[in-house]
Amino acid sequence: MKIKKIFATGMFRSGTTFLAKLINSNKKITFISDSFFSVFKFAKNDFFNENIYNKPFDDYLYLNPNLKEFNKFQKLNLKNLKFKKNLKQINKIINKDTKKFSPEFNKKTYLKIKNDNYHLLFKEIFDILHKVKNNYIVGLKEVWVVEFIPLLINFDKNIKNLIIIRDPRAVIASNFHSKQTYPLVFLIKQWKKISNLAFYYKKKFPKKVYLIKFENLIENPIKEIRRINNFLKLKNGLTNSDIKKLKWTQNTSYNIYKKKFNKMSIHKWKEILTHDEIKFIEKYCFIEMEMFNYKRDYINKKNFWWKSEIPKRKVQLSKWIKPFVKNLGYINLNFLNIENLKFSDFKSNAKFKNKYLYNNVLYSHHKKIFRKLLL
């Protein structure tokens, strides 16, 4: 019997762990969270010849050189990507992450592979998951790495991919309320990237990609779980009895320790974000929010062109991101200038010259939304 593979991803603070624990509640599925991020990270770094492990994934929204490399990456066969790292080093990271994020799998994820390409590395990962409980339905969840979906489909044409999307205001508020904070513009650009790619992949791979809105999962869990079961083609899928047996809590970033589906998390951002932060997020995530039917509280046709400076907030930035914020300029007016120029092009109906987005079809879709709602 062949191993049936599932991959789940999204932006962090989007309910990805919630989704992973939910899937793993079924005894016939082995699903692990956040243990193999280093493999994705090393693969990305090896492809882009990047030597700094912690360098953030690009947003791929701007700059033609980045877009050209991104397009090459999307067509990559993992068999052609050599594994350049020390296996002892990667195992150390994997076991550290497993112990932290998925302790139920600790000491069961040691990679022993001697081959030198990422195709075989990923094959061993899924084989390891199979051996944990001898389940033939296995999967993993990793945040930030949605751009790997075409590579994983190339790796196994039968793999099923779940992408969870959450209101950007809720994602950012959750981060601001935690100890690991990131700059506002960085968060917006990453959310836009993941949301745009999710929308694009769903269009390109309709039978292999399923989009889950966090809010739907919380407000209508039975209905959403039924859809997930149908997409994954699970005859004995997730059930109410599976959920009732869970001993985990949701939304610990807000210190809300209520079990299972807690609706209080959906609008908690209104208590965390300032008025200017909400307006700023709604303006620069305007089109993507519309794509996923997130209603805006402030930004509309009348006030869209307000002068939008980056709101200032005193936060304790996470250590790993500090050097990149300083050296790479994630917080800068370049973001505002390019976005505003793009909106001006939409308004004037200018011809697209491949300046801003990675995909012509998606750009055209954005343009239609913009002109329909704001002109």
Q: Judge if 51 and 124 occupy the same domain.
A: yes
Q: Judge if 151 and 273 occupy the same domain.
A: no
Mean pLDDT value across residues 37-64: 88
Query: 327 or 28: which carries more pLDDT confidence?
Result: 28
C-beta separation of 288 from 299 below 8 A:
no
Nearest 5°: phi and psi at 82? -75, 140
3-state helix, strand, coil in the chain (%, to 5): 55, 10, 35
The answer, yes or no, to whether residue 306 has pLDDT greater than 60, is yes
- Both tokens of 10, joined, read 């999204």
What is residue 65's predicted lDDT score, i.e. its pLDDT? 72
Q: Judge if 322 and 225 occupy the same domain.
A: no
What is residue 259's predicted lDDT score, i.e. its pLDDT? 54
Mean pLDDT value across residues 302-327: 86
User: In this structure, are strands 137-143 and 4-10 parallel, antiparallel, or unpaired?
Assistant: parallel
Task: Give the pTM.
Answer: 0.92
Q: Judge if 169 and 78 occupy the same domain.
A: yes
SS3 127: helix
What is residue 126's predicted lDDT score, i.e. its pLDDT? 93
> What rounded mean pLDDT belongs to the chain?
86
Q: Judge if 349 and 299 occupy the same domain.
A: yes
What is residue 341's predicted lDDT score, i.e. its pLDDT? 87
Q: Judge if 148 and 179 occupy the same domain.
A: yes
Answer with the one of 265, 296, 324 that is the final residue of a domain. 265
The answer, yes or no, to whether residue 257 has pLDDT greater than 60, is no
Domain that holds residue 26: 4-265
- Least Cα distance to 289 among 313, 269, 309 occurs for 269
Q: What is the pLDDT of residues 91-111, one digit of tens each?
A: 888 888 888 888 877 666 567
**How far is CA 75 from each of CA 18, 22, 149, 205, 319, rounded to the nearest angstrom?**
31, 32, 11, 14, 33
Answer with the one of 208, 235, 265 that is the final residue of a domain. 265
Q: Judge if 198 and 86 occupy the same domain.
A: yes
Q: Judge if 210 and 335 occupy the same domain.
A: no
Q: What is the pLDDT of residues 155-181, one digit of tens each?
A: 999 999 999 999 999 999 999 988 889
CA distance 224 to 206: 17
- How is 65-81 classified by DSSP, letter by letter? HHHHHHHHHHT--GGGS
The answer, yes or no, to whether residue 237 has pLDDT greater than 90, is no
For residue 15, the domain's CATH number is: 3.40.50.300
Answer with the one of 265, 297, 328 that is the final residue of a domain. 265
Query: 167 or 350: which carries more pLDDT confidence?
Result: 167
Q: Judge if 44 and 135 occupy the same domain.
A: yes
Q: Judge if 180 and 70 occupy the same domain.
A: yes
- Both tokens of 23, joined, read 């899937």
Query: 24 or 264: which carries more pLDDT confidence?
Result: 24
Q: Judge if 290 and 355 occupy the same domain.
A: yes
Number of domains in the chain: 2
What is residue 176's predicted lDDT score, i.e. its pLDDT? 94
